[in-house]
């Protein structure tokens, strides 16, 4: 009995066999000793009932075990009824996100001079697929101006790689007069209180803008293995007046179409 395992099936078999043996023995005893029939009849019926109950339990447990074996052998089905495949998904397109350029300042300012401000955005690639021939188009509201835009270093197109965001110059101006003895500032002089959008970066072609609030809608278009793609995002631009208390800044916003 050292290898015997107490399970519902094994116990039912033992009880059923013993009950059947007792019932058979009582049946023979009743035939041999008829005068004891009244005493042994109840025990005979009890052992017969126990035997029948054990047989029914074993039949039901056997059917359930067969169903479980069939389910274990059934191969797993792919989700949504598709064909089973062990081939991982392969990226076929870049994933471009437009963000505020915060390498130097949370406001997006990328200018190093204390009296000058030049706010920038940047395009980031979150995919291993390069975004080639990436170009920019920007609409400025409420000026109603929409045109092609250049990347930093006045480049009309760029290849955007993962881990190497590319800056987008947006607007610049001076918040104070530069010191007369300042060395190292080779940019043009901007009257304090006037601002200029910079679609051509440092090469010129600026768009003068009065102090105030603007919304710019930035679209980046690129080519990758999956073909031509684009993404658009909206930003709020604040350009302060002369002697204003706030810094110029650019903040991610939501287009009215997405409310």
- Are residues 161 and 238 both part of a single domain? yes
Q: How far apart are CA 198 and CA 149, in angstroms?
A: 8
The residue assigned the tokens 């090469």 is 203
Last residue of a domain, one of 51, 81, 111: 81
DSSP line for 44-75: HHHHHHHHHHHHHHHHHHHHHHHHHHHHHHSP
Instruction: Judge whether 2 lies within some domain.
Output: no
Per the structure, the count of domains in the chain is 2
Question: Is it the case that residue 61 has pLDDT exceeding 80?
Answer: no
34-43, 190-199, 203-212: the lowest-pLDDT one: 34-43
- Are residues 218 and 134 both part of a single domain? yes
Last residue of a domain, one of 81, 111, 126: 81
Residue range(s) defining the domain that contains residue 143: 96-258
pLDDT confidence bin for 33, thresholds 50/70/90: confident
> Are the beta carbons of 210 and 145 closer than 8 angstroms?
no
- Are residues 56 and 104 both part of a single domain? no
Instruction: Judge whether 117 lies within some domain.
Output: yes
Whole-prediction pTM? 0.62
Q: What are phi and psi of 16, to 5 degrees?
A: -65, -45
pLDDT for position 209: 95
Instruction: Judge whether 222 lies within some domain.
Output: yes
Instruction: Judge whether 138 lies within some domain.
Output: yes
Q: What are phi and psi of 130, to 5 degrees?
A: -70, 140
pLDDT tens for residues 115-148?
889 999 999 999 999 999 999 999 999 999 999 9
- Are residues 132 and 183 both part of a single domain? yes
- Are residues 100 and 68 both part of a single domain? no
- Are residues 144 and 243 both part of a single domain? yes
What does pLDDT average to over the chain? 81
The residue assigned the tokens 């060395």 is 183
Rg (alpha carbons) of the chain, rounded to whole number: 42
- Are residues 239 and 121 both part of a single domain? yes
Instruction: Judge whether 140 lies within some domain.
Output: yes
Q: How far apart are CA 250 and CA 205, in angstroms?
A: 21
Residues of the chain above pLDDT 90, percent: 43
- Are residues 46 and 151 both part of a single domain? no
CA angle 227, 231, 237 (to 5 degrees): 155
* DSSP run (H or E) holding 222: strand 212-224
What number of H helices and E strands is found in the chain?
2, 11
* Helix axes of 37-73 and 8-32: crossing angle, nearest 10 degrees: 150
Instruction: Compute the average pLDDT of residues 147-172.
Output: 95
Instruction: Judge whether 200 lies within some domain.
Output: yes
Instruction: Judge whether 55 lies within some domain.
Output: yes
- Are residues 108 and 67 both part of a single domain? no
Instruction: Judge whether 1 lies within some domain.
Output: no
pLDDT confidence bin for 238, thresholds 50/70/90: very high
pLDDT for position 258: 44
* CA neighbor of 195 nearest in space, from 204, 181, 207, 187: 207
- Are residues 22 and 68 both part of a single domain? yes
- Are residues 150 and 204 both part of a single domain? yes
């Amino acid at each position: 009995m050292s290898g015997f395992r107490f399970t519902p099936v094994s116990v039912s078999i033992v009880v059923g066999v013993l009950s059947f043996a007792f019932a058979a023995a009582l049946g023979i005893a009743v035939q041999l000793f008829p005068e004891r029939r009244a005493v042994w009849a109840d025990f005979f019926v009890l052992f017969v009932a126990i035997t029948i109950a054990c047989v029914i339990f074993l039949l039901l447990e056997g059917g359930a075990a067969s169903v479980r074996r069939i389910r274990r052998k059934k191969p797993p089905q792919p989700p949504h009824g598709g064909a089973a495949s062990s081939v991982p998904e392969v990226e076929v397109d870049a994933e471009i996100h437009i963000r505020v350029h915060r390498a130097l300042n949370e406001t997006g300012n990328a200018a190093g001079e204390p009296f000058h401000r030049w706010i920038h955005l940047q395009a980031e690639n979150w995919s291993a697929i390069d975004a080639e021939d990436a170009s920019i188009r920007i609409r400025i509201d409420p000026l109603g101006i929409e045109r092609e835009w250049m990347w930093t270093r006045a480049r009309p197109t760029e290849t955007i790689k993962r881990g190497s965001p590319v800056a987008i110059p947006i607007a610049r101006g001076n918040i104070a007069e530069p010191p007369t003895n300042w060395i190292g500032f080779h940019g043009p002089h901007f009257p304090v209180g006037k601002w200029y959008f910079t679609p051509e970066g440092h090469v010129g072609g600026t768009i003068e803008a009065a102090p105030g609030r603007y919304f710019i809608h930035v679209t980046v278009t690129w080519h990758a293995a999956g073909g031509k793609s684009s993404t658009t995002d909206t930003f709020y631009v604040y350009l302060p007046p002369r002697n204003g208390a706030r810094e110029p800044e650019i903040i991610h916003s939501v287009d009215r179409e997405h409310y």
